[in-house]
Amino acid sequence: MKNTILIVGAGFAGSVVARELAEAGHRLLVIDRRPHIAGNAYDEYDAYGVLIHRYGPHLFHTNAECIFQWLSRFTDWHDYEHRVLAEVDGQRLPIPINRSTLNRLYGLDLDEAGVVAYLEQVHEPRDPIRTSEDVVLNSVGHDLCEKFFRGYTRKQWGLDLSELSAGVAARIPTRSNDDDRYFTDVFQALPKDGYTRLFERMLDHPNISVRLNTDYAAIRGQLKPRHTVYTGPIDAYFDYRFGKLPYRSLRFEHEHLSDTEWFQPVGTVNYPNDHAYTRITEFKHATGQTHPGTSIVREYPQAEGDPYYPIPRPENEARYQQYKALAEAEPGVTFVGRLAQYRYYNMDQVVGAALKSAEMIKERLNND
């Protein structure tokens, strides 16, 4: 192990750093406690032959051409623009809220200027904007907040909008036009042969070894790596010294419908006000696969279980900052990724953070 760099976690953060360092001539051991690579982006064919995302829908989108190009070394792409409907008052309406959402919900016939004027009238100006409630009330006002955001957020996070930082709800814009795409990024696509295949190619390098079903906690005392890159939860690394950092979890209920070619009209339908699940995703919309049946997933938020989401609110950020100070003082270890940096990162942001970390590690090892 003396000259080997240890990477804890085979998701985007760990695998991108591994590839970059391998190409710079370093030897790497990548471990993951799960029985597979690709982290939460893992996809697989289910028992019926439909390509599904085991840990919920993963739609790649970015405005960063360099990140898209970097990943393109390991995959071709299937172009896909995600669309989402929210079931509200017995109708399925576009979310993000757009012109058609308002016209159909309220039986109006507004043009774009009419939408701007309508929102101007109903919105509740907030200054400063600190919480997710401020964001939503400031842009769409009370009624739309209750119908589209309050219930969904309560289910997803177990918290009120007012208890979450502004960045959570700020992910969802409001539009006066008819654009019904969930994302407006320049690059929107899924890896043509799936995420797992992309990761297989990324990790396929003579300098990289991968060991699955291996928990860092079980081996950390035994190894003496030249450097460690840790992408798991930061509080676990430090044995919860400052208390647990809350991460929100989900239970995924996968289902295959063999006699149904299409279950719903778009990739995802959100249920802000009904049911224990937040949303249902039908994978074939996103992957473009042809199949006589279809596979869907329902997401049930929960407090316990695998950590999926950092929970952005000031008290958690304060605790994270305590851990971050320890991390910065930890010799020979780099912390990167959604769990290790406690950031509500999308995949492209994790790739960006990992490329940056790899550059820093290369420089540091060259100066050793």
- Which residues here bind ligand FAD, judged by CB under 6 A? 8-14, 31-34, 39-41, 55-60, 215-217, 231-232, 250, 308, 337-339, 345-348, 350
The enclosing H or E element of 210 equals strand 208-211
Binding mask 235-274 for ligand UDP (x = CB under 6 A): -----------------------------------x-x--
Q: How far apart are CA 184 and CA 194, in angstroms?
A: 22
Residue 85 binds to ligand UDP (criterion: CB under 6 A): no
Residue type, 135: V
272 binds, among ligand FAD, ligand UDP, none (CB under 5 to 8 A by kind): ligand UDP
* DSSP-H helix ranges across 77-190: 99-106, 112-122, 132-144, 151-157, 166-169
Site size for ligand UDP (CB under 6 A): 13
298, HSE (Cβ side, Cα atoms, 13 Å): 10
Q: Which amino acid is at 342?
A: Y
Q: Are 3 and 28 in contact (CB under 8 A)?
A: no
Q: What whole-number distance in Å separates Cα of residue 72 and Cα of residue 198?
A: 9
Of 172 and 347, which has the nearer Cβ to ligand FAD?
Answer: 347
Work out which of 171, 211, 241, 364 binds ligand UDP, going by CB under 6 A: 171
Residue 86 binds ligand UDP, judged by CB under 6 A: yes
C-alpha–C-alpha distance, residues 82 and 286, integer Å? 7
Shortest approach of ligand UDP to residue 162 CB, angstroms? 12
Element (H, E) at 250: strand 247-257
Q: Which listed range, 115-123, 145-153, 225-233, 320-328, lies at the site for ligand UDP (CB under 6 A)?
A: 145-153
Is residue 168 a contact point for ligand UDP (CB under 6 A)? yes
**Choices 9-17, 167-175, 194-202, 354-362 (CB under 6 A): range interacting with ligand UDP:** 167-175
Cα maximum dimension of the chain: 70
| Residue choice 153, 281, 287, 295 for contact with ligand UDP (CB under 6 A) | 153
Tell whether residue 156 is a contact of ligand UDP (CB under 6 A): yes
Q: How far is CA 221 from CA 8, 14, 137, 192, 215, in A?
A: 14, 20, 51, 40, 12
Residues 6+ apart with CB under 8 A from 195: 38, 41, 42, 43, 53, 58
**Among ligand FAD, ligand UDP, none, what does residue 139 contact (CB within 5–8 Å per kind)?**
none
Please state the closest distance from residue 154 (CB atom) to ligand UDP, in A.
Answer: 9
The window from 17-25, 148-156, 332-340, 349-357 that contacts ligand UDP (CB under 6 A) reads 148-156
Question: Given the rule CB under 6 A, which residues bind ligand UDP?
Answer: 86, 95, 148-149, 152-153, 156, 168-169, 171-172, 270, 272
